[in-house]
Amino acid sequence: MRTHTEGESNTSEARRDWVARHPDAATRELLARDAAAFLHQSLSSPCLNTVAKADGIWLQDTSGRRYMDFHGNSVHHIGYAHPRVVAAIKAQIDDLSFSPRRFTNEVSVELAEKLGELAPDDLGKVLFTTGGSDANEVAMKIARAATGRFKTVSFWDAFHGAGFGASSVGGEATFRSHITGPLLPGAEHVAPFNCYRCAYGHPGPETCGLACAKMVEFVLEREGDVAAVIAEPMRAVPVVPPPGYWRAVREACNRHGALLIMDEIPTGLGKTGRMFAFEHDEVIPDIVTLGKALGGGILPIAAVIARRDLDVCGDFAIGHYTHEKNPVTARAALETIAIIREEGLVERAAVLGAHALSRLREALRDVAIVGDVRGRGLMFGAEIVEDRESRAPAPARAERIYYWCLEAGLSFKVSAGCVLTLSPPLTIGQDDLDRALGIVAEAIWAEAG
C-alpha cells in the first residue's frame, strides 16, 4: 500500500511510527524486503504497508486490517477485482493472449472504435500505450507533426507523467527537480487556475476577469509558435476551473494556431460526473489522453484519441509499443467501458459527488482549519489551513488527520501538502461513502480541537 502523503519523507517520523505500531512481524519483514529490493523514490518505495487483497472499495493488508480506498491511484473507478473484468481477462487469455504490433486483432480494433464512439465530435483516431505518461508524449508528438512547431504551454503544479517529455510539461517539483541537465526544450509554464477567488467559488469576469486564462493567451501570443496547450481539465488536487476558463483557452488556441490536449487520465471515464471532465466546460479538445481506470484497475493501458484530421504521422513511429494492440488489455478496457455505461456509473458519480460535497460542507462549515471543500463528482477534497483568515497551508495538521483516518480504516491521498483528496470508486455504496465522510469529519474536528 503506497500511501505516503505528498511531500512526506519516505522515512518521516509519522511513517516510522505507523510501521512500528501496526503491522505484525510478517508485515514488517515484507516491508523490509521491499525496501531492500526496490530503488527508493518519493511517494513509493519504501512503502507504508502491504496489500494481501484488493476487492471492491477495500484493501486488506497482510495482518488482516481493512481500509476503504479513496485513492487507488485513480485506477479503481469500478472497484478492485470487478468479477466481469476478471472473467473477461481470463476468457481472453484462453482465446488470444498476445498480438504482435504489426498484426491486428478483433478486440483491439473494437476498443479503438468504442473510444471513438465515446469521444465527442470528430475525436476518432486512436493509439494505445502502456501508460499515461507515454500517451501524453504521443499526443505531443502528434501536435509537433501537425503544426510544425515544438513548443508547449502547460501549468505549474500539473502532473502528466514521469517520462522526460511528460516531466518537462508537468509542473510538480517531485518529478522535475532531481533531473540533472535540461528537460524538453520549449516547455513553457504558466500559473494554474487556483487563485483565491477560483478556489473559493467566486470566479468569473466580475471578480478576476479570468486573468488565469489570459496568462495562457499572453504566452501563446508572445511565443507565436506554440504547438499545443496540454492540461488537466480539472486539477486532481482537486481544483475546479472557473466558469468560462476553458472556453477562453480554447478560443485562444484557435486564434494562435495551437492544439489543445486534455489529459483525462485521472478524471476521464466518469469520475467527475461526465464521461470526460472537459464536457463540464463545453469545450472539445483536439487530442484527449485516457489511462489509469481504462484497464479496470487490473491491467495497464492508456489511449490517445485525436481528431481525425490529425492522423498525420504515418511515415514515422510515434508509439511503437510492444503491447500496443495487446488483446488482453484491450478486453479489460472494453469490459470496463461496458460496466461504466451499463451500470450508469457516470450519472451515479454526479449524484453521489453532489451528496458528498453537500455533506462535507455542512459538517465542516464551522471548522476554522478547513479553508475549502471542493471538487466534481467523486473527486473532491478538503483543504486544511492554519486558519481561514490567513489561508496558510497546514501540512502537519493534514498529516495528522491522514493518519487518524488510516487508523480508522480509510486510505486517501494528501495533495499539495494540505488537501485531503478523496476519490472513491464509482461503484461505492452510499452507506460506505457516508461512513468515510464521517471518519474524515471526525478526524478534522479532533485536529481542530
**Confidence band, pLDDT 50/70/90 cuts, at residue 205:** very low
Residue numbers of the domain that contains 33? 13-80+344-448
**Residue 373 is which amino acid?**
V
The answer on 416 and 286 residing in a single domain is: no
pLDDT at res. 4:
42
- To which H or E segment does residue 287 belong? strand 287-290
| Domain membership flag for residue 247 | yes
Q: Is the pLDDT of residue 115 over 60?
A: yes
238 prior amide bond cis, ω within 30: yes
Domain boundary among 320, 342, 364: 342
pLDDT at res. 204:
46
Average pLDDT over residues 30-36: 92
Q: How many distinct structural domains can be found in the chain?
A: 2
Local structure of 331: helix, strand or coil: helix
| Domain membership flag for residue 229 | yes
**Confidence band, pLDDT 50/70/90 cuts, at residue 151:** very high
Phi, psi of 21 (to 5 degrees): -85, -35
Phi, psi of 251 (to 5 degrees): -65, -35
pLDDT at res. 181:
76
pLDDT at res. 401:
96
Q: Looking up cell 486534455, which residue turns up? A: 262
The answer on 412 and 282 residing in a single domain is: no
Q: Is the pLDDT of residue 254 over 80?
A: yes
Contact yes or no for 244/266 (Cβ under 8 A)? no
What share of the chain has pLDDT > 90, as a percent? 79
| Domain membership flag for residue 6 | no
Contact yes or no for 302/128 (Cβ under 8 A)? yes
pLDDT at res. 7:
43
**Confidence band, pLDDT 50/70/90 cuts, at residue 246:** very high
Q: Is the pLDDT of residue 54 over 80?
A: yes
**Distance between CA atoms of residues 425 and 429, nearest Å:** 9
156 grid coordinates: 505549474
343 class by beta-carbon count within 10 Å (0-12 exposed, 13-18 middle, 19+ buried): middle
Q: Is the dihedral of CA 432, 438, 440, 446 positive or negative?
A: negative
Domain boundary among 313, 342, 371: 342
10-29 pLDDT, tens digit each:
456 766 676 677 668 888 89
**Confidence band, pLDDT 50/70/90 cuts, at residue 5:** very low
What is the residue-averaged pLDDT of the chain?
A: 92
The answer on 329 and 395 residing in a single domain is: no
- Worst-scoring range by mean pLDDT, 231-240, 276-285, 342-351? 231-240
The answer on 135 and 115 residing in a single domain is: yes
- Specify the higher pLDDT residue, 7 or 74: 74
The answer on 252 and 389 residing in a single domain is: no
| Domain membership flag for residue 277 | yes
- Worst-scoring range by mean pLDDT, 112-121, 181-190, 299-308? 181-190
- Specify the higher pLDDT residue, 236 or 230: 230
- To which H or E segment does residue 304 belong? strand 302-307
What share of the chain has pLDDT > 70, as a percent? 92
Give the number of C-alpha atoms closer than 13 A to the C-alpha of residue 13, restricted to the C-beta side.
Answer: 3
pLDDT at res. 207:
58
Q: What is the CATH number of the domain that holds 410?
A: 3.90.1150.10
The answer on 106 and 64 residing in a single domain is: no
The answer on 366 and 307 residing in a single domain is: no
| Domain membership flag for residue 2 | no
The answer on 172 and 50 residing in a single domain is: no
Letter string b/e over residues 88-103, b meaning 16 or more CB atoms within 10 A of that residue's CB: bbeebeeeeeebeeee
| Domain membership flag for residue 8 | no
154-195 pLDDT, tens digit each:
999 999 998 889 999 998 877 777 776 788 899 999 999 876
- Strands (E) located in 63-183: 66-69, 123-129, 151-155
Q: Is the pLDDT of residue 273 over 90?
A: yes
pLDDT at res. 180:
66
The answer on 173 and 72 residing in a single domain is: no
- Worst-scoring range by mean pLDDT, 166-180, 203-217, 421-435? 203-217
The answer on 236 and 103 residing in a single domain is: yes
**Distance between CA atoms of residues 171 and 180, nearest Å:** 16
Contact yes or no for 120/285 (Cβ under 8 A)? no
Q: What is the CATH number of the domain that holds 124?
A: 3.40.640.10
Cα–Cα separations (whole angstroms), residue 238 to 125, 193, 381, 420: 30, 11, 6, 9
| Domain membership flag for residue 255 | yes
Domain boundary among 309, 342, 375: 342
pLDDT at res. 17:
74
| Domain membership flag for residue 380 | yes
Contact yes or no for 299/129 (Cβ under 8 A)? no
**Confidence band, pLDDT 50/70/90 cuts, at residue 249:** very high
The answer on 205 and 90 residing in a single domain is: yes
3-state helix, strand, coil in the chain (%, to 5): 40, 15, 40
The answer on 289 and 413 residing in a single domain is: no
Average pLDDT over residues 369-391: 94
